[in-house]
Amino acid sequence: MIKLNGLKSRILTASLSATLLALMVGFAMAAPAAGVAGDWQGTLDTGGGTLRVVVHVTQDKDGKLSGAVDSPDQGAAGIAITAITYKEPDLHFEVESIGGSYDGKMNKENSQIAGDWKQGGGSLSLTFKRITK
């Protein structure tokens, strides 16, 4: 066993502590916080039936969001989102080609977004649940 005098021991301990702290900070910065990017699914209750809605949100390396909407029950996929903003916890997106928009709030676990789908002068409650990150 190596014996160190008191000063050397304190210096070594401080150095190891600083290295460990730097590693912990580095890992924390490298792991992105769960955001809105990913795939989300919800169901609209139209009063005359239900429609599944899937939203795909991507984020580029500069942080810019984009996305598309699918309506599997209507055979529609890849409908472009023309405007999207996310400022935690608020999500807003617009789908110009169908005259639709969505405003919702993300829950604290980043697993669900509750809000309203607006289209054609009407508004329906729509909650999305994360299906992939």
Superfamily of domain 38-132 in the CATH hierarchy: Quinohemoprotein amine dehydrogenase alpha subunit, domain 2 (2.40.128.120)
Mean pLDDT estimate for the chain: 83
Strands ordered across the beta sheet of 65-71:
76-80, 65-71, 50-59, 38-45, 122-132, 112-119, 100-106, 90-95, 83-87
CB 114 within 8 A of CB 105: yes
CB 25: neighbour CB atoms within 10 A?
Answer: 10
| Cis peptide preceding 72, ω within 30 of 0 | no
pLDDT in tens, 72-119: 999 999 999 999 999 999 999 999 999 999 999 999 999 999 999 999
Extents of the domains making up the chain: 1-31, 38-132
| DSSP SS3 for 28 | helix
Nearest CA to 44 out of 35, 36, 54 is that of 54
pTM of this prediction exceeds 0.75:
no
**Is 50 exceeded by the pLDDT of residue 43?**
yes
